[in-house]
Chain A
């Protein structure tokens, strides 16, 4: 099966007044039809930047993107503006964290939906209106005919997020990218929206990239996970494997630091000391997590850990998984070449 979207060696650099900052460094993943992939990490891990870079949504003069994003015979990082516009309009849809500010405040919800359907799906006004009402009904908005006339500020956060999902579904996209789509919602509403996204993803056969900081959300939603730290994917695999049997010290720490409402055995939380530092070097010369890692040793500071397969489709970038011989060999190799 060919992947719907394939990301190869994605690199994003921001050009700041204090020099370039490396936000994403060599991210690889593929996404198949009907699959939900979670990109999980804390702030600054590069998860949002990765998701925006896929369709070149980062400001051009302020950032440099390298690598390739293969999608439907195109490389989105090299595609023309015209092709990109078409992809953004009908193939890859986004929903963001703050639904109320994602909608245009001075126009009704209905007119925003109708616009998408007439411009991007080529419907006439009457068809677009009927279809809009259908979509609002599908995403669980009560009284859709009436709510067509509502302005965003008249709806709650949960309802606005439903409208955003309806707008994403309007063009029947192949990929849906949800960036912290439920983070600003109350838990009961969050649960409703997560269920809705899962339902429509399987109903419409969409592939979903779920960007989140919350491993709990990942556990209940995704098929596969990529854990990001410092602009790199440090561990990836099937949700079940990865959460039950995390190998990377960062993944382990992330799980241990999250309080669990349903786990009675949890008596202490283990925070991760220190904080993520701004990355200015580009060469992969060490493990990014080493300064905060409780298990780091010599080689973590001098060599970049290559991803190692620990199980089928579960790979981890950490020196703890290499035996002494391999580590020695790496050091000798480097010694010879440098």
Chain B
């Protein structure tokens, strides 16, 4: 595996900001809603990075910017050392092959009037990846790769189960021979027994095809299982970043800690077992962001300064960064 030092990271997101504009009411003043506020992130070749957060934390918007689907206001997205914003025409098309998406709304991403074969071969055709004669063979190969029998090629999406639909989406992404896969909640809505099949499939494909993955999920347990690095997002910012093992065994940011304690697990048995970490309150409205650290209204370690200073990500060493005043040099 090439290290980051030799080749530079595959994907480098620097200080990404995305702002949406909305009106308050029909005639009210324009509001600027900061969905993503200064996100920096690296995915080295071979990494599986988890971007985890609750709804509204900005993880999907970040992913859309990485895919070039959302124009950021500020910041840059470098893929293999090239700024994706500056690409157009053939260069952009080439890039699209290298980054593939497994969308959250898997069934919605398939054309209901096209068979699995038509869906998967469309990309092969557009990008002229294989000659026409061997296209059929290639589709069968891709299906086999994701664990579907060749007869599935002639089925329509409505004839497939939730798990099979995910497999088709994965096969479609693989057909482009990508080096980075962005998987947006790839197992949302699946039963656990099927979720396990899909997670294991992703794990296996990653090894077999030397893929890097950016996994977007609200589910800490999924991230823990699949990823070697994790970025925790809250309210448009990354609040904690680190190696999976370290972050889960010793969460630093109060939000990460609370999120972990709130995650229901089979090992925490008993009705008396309070979900004691449970965070009070809710994610604030983007229209009225709190001053200072955006987590301070819900934080159980709130202290003086938290409502004034918005902490930057602070390196703790060992690839770990935290955006919390508890860990930063207060004199700053």
Cross-interface CB contact of A264 among B220, B249, B261, cutoff 8 Å = B249
Interface residues of B in 244-276 (CB under 8 A from A): 245, 248-249, 258-271, 273-275
Q: Which of B67-75, B138-146, B195-203 contacts A (4 or more CB under 8 A)?
A: B195-203
Interface residues of B in 174-226 (CB under 8 A from A): 191-197, 199-200, 218-222, 224-225
Whether B269 contacts A219 by the Cβ 8 Å rule is yes
In the complex formed, the residue of B with least CB distance to A242 is: B269
Complex CA gap A261/B260 in Å reads 7
Given A188-B278, A259-B221, A262-B260, do A272 and B271 touch, yes or no (CB 8 Å)? no
Q: Which of A2-10, A123-131, A249-257 contacts B (4 or more CB under 8 A)?
A: A249-257
- Say whether B163 faces chain A, with CB atoms less than 8 Å apart: yes
Interface residues of A in 247-288 (CB under 8 A from B): 253-264, 266, 268-273, 275
Q: Which of A12-20, A64-72, A75-83, A191-199 contacts B (4 or more CB under 8 A)?
A: A191-199
- Say whether A187 faces chain B, with CB atoms less than 8 Å apart: yes
Q: How does the 8 Å CB contact mask read for A216-227 relative to B, with 1 for contact and 0 for none?
A: 110111110000
- Say whether A175 faces chain B, with CB atoms less than 8 Å apart: no
Cross-interface CB contact of B191 among A213, A223, A263, A268, cutoff 8 Å = A213
Contact residue range for chain B?
35 or more
Given A188-B54, A216-B265, do A42 and B191 touch, yes or no (CB 8 Å)? yes
- Say whether B131 faces chain A, with CB atoms less than 8 Å apart: no
- Say whether B329 faces chain A, with CB atoms less than 8 Å apart: no
* Chain A residues in 8 Å Cβ range of B224: 259-261
- Say whether A294 faces chain B, with CB atoms less than 8 Å apart: no
Whether B192 contacts A258 by the Cβ 8 Å rule is yes
* Chain A residues in 8 Å Cβ range of B265: 216, 219, 260-263
Interchain nearest-CB distance for B265 vs A (Å) = 5
Whether B196 contacts A270 by the Cβ 8 Å rule is yes
Given A195-B278, A239-B269, do A262 and B196 touch, yes or no (CB 8 Å)? no
* Chain B residues in 8 Å Cβ range of A305: none
Whether A198 contacts B271 by the Cβ 8 Å rule is yes
- Say whether B286 faces chain A, with CB atoms less than 8 Å apart: no
Cross-interface CB contact of B279 among A188, A214, A266, cutoff 8 Å = A188
Given A261-B263, A269-B199, do A43 and B191 touch, yes or no (CB 8 Å)? yes
- Say whether B282 faces chain A, with CB atoms less than 8 Å apart: yes
Whether A223 contacts B200 by the Cβ 8 Å rule is no
* Chain A residues in 8 Å Cβ range of B55: 186
* Chain B residues in 8 Å Cβ range of A239: 269-271
* Chain B residues in 8 Å Cβ range of A190: 262, 264
Given A219-B268, A261-B221, A262-B268, do A187 and B196 touch, yes or no (CB 8 Å)? no
- Say whether B161 faces chain A, with CB atoms less than 8 Å apart: yes
Complex CA gap A221/B264 in Å reads 9
In the complex formed, the residue of A with least CB distance to B298 is: A188
- Say whether A95 faces chain B, with CB atoms less than 8 Å apart: no
Given A42-B192, A239-B269, A272-B193, do A261 and B54 touch, yes or no (CB 8 Å)? no
* Chain A residues in 8 Å Cβ range of B261: 191
Whether A188 contacts B194 by the Cβ 8 Å rule is no
- Say whether B318 faces chain A, with CB atoms less than 8 Å apart: no
Q: How does the 8 Å CB contact mask read for A169-189 relative to B, with 1 for contact and 0 for none?
A: 000000000000000001111
* Chain B residues in 8 Å Cβ range of A244: 269
Q: How does the 8 Å CB contact mask read for A31-47 relative to B, with 1 for contact and 0 for none?
A: 00000100000110000
- Say whether B28 faces chain A, with CB atoms less than 8 Å apart: no
Interchain nearest-CB distance for A146 vs B (Å) = 15
* Chain A residues in 8 Å Cβ range of B258: 188
* Chain B residues in 8 Å Cβ range of A99: none
* Chain A residues in 8 Å Cβ range of B29: none
Complex CA gap A9/B113 in Å reads 44
Cross-interface CB contact of A253 among B193, B218, B273, B282, cutoff 8 Å = B193
Complex CA gap A36/B270 in Å reads 11
In the complex formed, the residue of A with least CB distance to B273 is: A220
In the complex formed, the residue of A with least CB distance to B278 is: A191
- Say whether B89 faces chain A, with CB atoms less than 8 Å apart: no
Whether B192 contacts A213 by the Cβ 8 Å rule is yes
Of A192, A239, A264, the most chain B CB neighbours within 10 A belong to: A192
* Chain A residues in 8 Å Cβ range of B270: 219-220, 239-240
Interchain nearest-CB distance for A129 vs B (Å) = 26
Whether A259 contacts B199 by the Cβ 8 Å rule is yes
Residues of A within 8 A of B (CB): 36, 42-43, 156, 158-159, 186-192, 194-195, 198, 213-217, 219-223, 239-240, 243-244, 253-264, 266, 268-273, 275
The 9 nearest A-B residue pairs measured at CB: A216-B264, A271-B196, A191-B278, A271-B197, A272-B193, A257-B196, A259-B221, A191-B262, A42-B191
10 additional A-B residue pairs with CB within 8 Å, beyond A42-B191, A191-B279, A240-B269: A156-B282, A191-B262, A213-B192, A214-B192, A239-B269, A258-B221, A259-B199, A259-B219, A259-B225, A271-B197
